[in-house]
Amino acid sequence: MSNEHDNVALLHPELGGGEFIENDSFSEARLPERQYCVFRAGRERFCFSVLEVEEVVDWPIVTRVPLAPAFLMGVFNLRGTIVPLVDIAFTEGRRPGMLPKHVVVAALKGDSQTGDLRLGIAADEVIGTYSATEESLLDQAPAEVPHCRGMLRHDDRLALVVDLRRLTDVFPVPVI
């Protein structure tokens, strides 16, 4: 079944007046893109949608929390807000004295029962931001990484896409 507009030439304003492109090629060239912040924690690459990332900061002064679970590295002060700091690569065991270099601060919008949550994720390296279409996303994630919902293909590599809701279920942090 063919749409009567499939082969109609459209005037495209970004091409500098008067140039026409075919409707099919325009729709193929303009697939919706999302941007992701890619970082490394331990041996794995992870990513968040940039819409979930508030900022990336250098390693702060971290205050340990007594009797905290192993994944909770502590809390830190971010311009007057206390933010819990989670190490999602804690199962790999870090060498003593080798702290991560950055913190990716993510924000999870609350619902009617819970407030907003800011969460710091320990990152050994922040690789950058990448634009990706839905074709670059794989729906499956390894079963041993329950806080991820899929994988992002970038630069011939894969990054695990972190799901913030699942992350707070797997790594429950205190609300401060």
The proportion of the chain whose per-residue pLDDT surpasses 90, expressed as a percent, equals: 35
Q: Can you tell me the distance from the alpha carbon of 72 to that of 45, in angstroms, rounded to the nearest whole number?
A: 19
Rounded to whole angstroms, what are the CA distances from 106 to 5, 29, 37, 164? 43, 31, 11, 8
Task: Name the DSSP class of 56.
Answer: E
**DSSP per-residue codes, 85-102:** EE-TTGGG-PPTT---SE
The tens digit of pLDDT for each residue in 115-142 reads 678 899 999 999 999 988 877 787 877 7
For the beta carbon of residue 166, count every other beta carbon within 10 angstroms: 15
Record the pTM.
Answer: 0.73
Q: What is the mean pLDDT of residues 57-74?
A: 93
